[in-house]
Amino acid sequence: MKTTLDETDAEILRLLVEDGRIPYTEIADEVGMSPPSVIDRVDRLHEKGVLEGFEARLDRSVLGGSRLLLRFGVGTDEPSHVAETLAGDERVETVFVSADGTVTVVVNAEPDEARRIVADVDAETHGFGVDVVVEEHHAPTVSTPSFAPDCVECGNTVDSEGVTARVAGDIYHFCCTSCESAFRERYEAMG
């Protein structure tokens, strides 16, 4: 469904991106709301899929080891398979797949392990490159205060009449209850 985020939602998101451990009381002071109201908004943003969760970010320079960027190309039919395989490797932190079939992987490993990690994907690769990360800045932005997802069942834009539902732990957006029902029926038939 088309969910419009107001300035308060956007400010709450900005504060959480800046410090995911910020107390709700501090957020409430910043946005001029009560802590329970902030908790309700954060819960709503999470339910709608806008806020996916909170994560611990580790400083690898303190823990030892190296942080590497691996880049390589794969065939047009294989990026999803390659991304799924790499995501299962405990050394892999993040996998990006570009529209042109380029795979970029953030790994925590020594440089001599890089080729072995890519060799385990069981796909034809080309243009392999590895870079050691020496500095990193992480600054997600909250830019557009609204989003309009597509219905996972029919592909139409989900508007204010739409439905957001959790199916098997994942959040899905539907343009109407009919599409939600059809999706659930098909999902249950597969399981």
> pLDDT tens, position by position, for the chain (191 residues)?
445 677 888 889 889 988 889 999 999 999 999 999 999 999 988 888 888 887 777 766 677 678 899 999 887 677 788 888 898 888 898 899 888 888 999 998 888 888 888 888 778 888 888 998 888 777 777 654 455 678 888 988 887 778 888 887 777 888 899 999 999 998 888 86
Question: In this predicted structure, what is the pLDDT of residue 148?
Answer: 67
Tell me whether residue 138 is in a domain. Answer: no
Q: How far apart are CA 131 and CA 111, in angstroms?
A: 8
Tell me whether residue 36 is in a domain. Answer: yes
Residues 47 and 83 in one domain: no
Domain hosting 168: range is 148-191
Query: Under 8 Å CB-to-CB from 11, ≥6 apart: which residues?
Result: 30, 31
Question: Which runs of consecutive H residues, i.e. helices, occur in 69-144?
Answer: 79-87, 114-119
Tell me whether residue 184 is in a domain. Answer: yes
Tell me whether residue 168 is in a domain. Answer: yes
Residues 76 and 126 in one domain: yes
Q: How far apart are CA 10 and CA 146, in angstroms?
A: 9
Q: How far apart are CA 71 and CA 82, in angstroms?
A: 12
Number of structural domains, the chain? Answer: 3
Task: List the CATH number of the domain containing 118.
Answer: 3.30.70.100
Q: How far apart are CA 21 and CA 54, in angstroms?
A: 8
Task: List the CATH number of the domain containing 188.
Answer: 2.30.170
Question: In this predicted structure, what is the pLDDT of residue 137?
Answer: 75
Question: In this predicted structure, what is the pLDDT of residue 1?
Answer: 44
Of 37, 6, 14, 11, which Cα lies nearest the Cα of 24? 37
Tell me whether residue 62 is in a domain. Answer: no
In terms of pTM, does the model score above 0.75? Answer: no
Residues 18 and 40 in one domain: yes
Residues 71 and 125 in one domain: yes
From residue 55, how far is each of 65, 97, 139 by CA, in Å?
A: 20, 21, 14
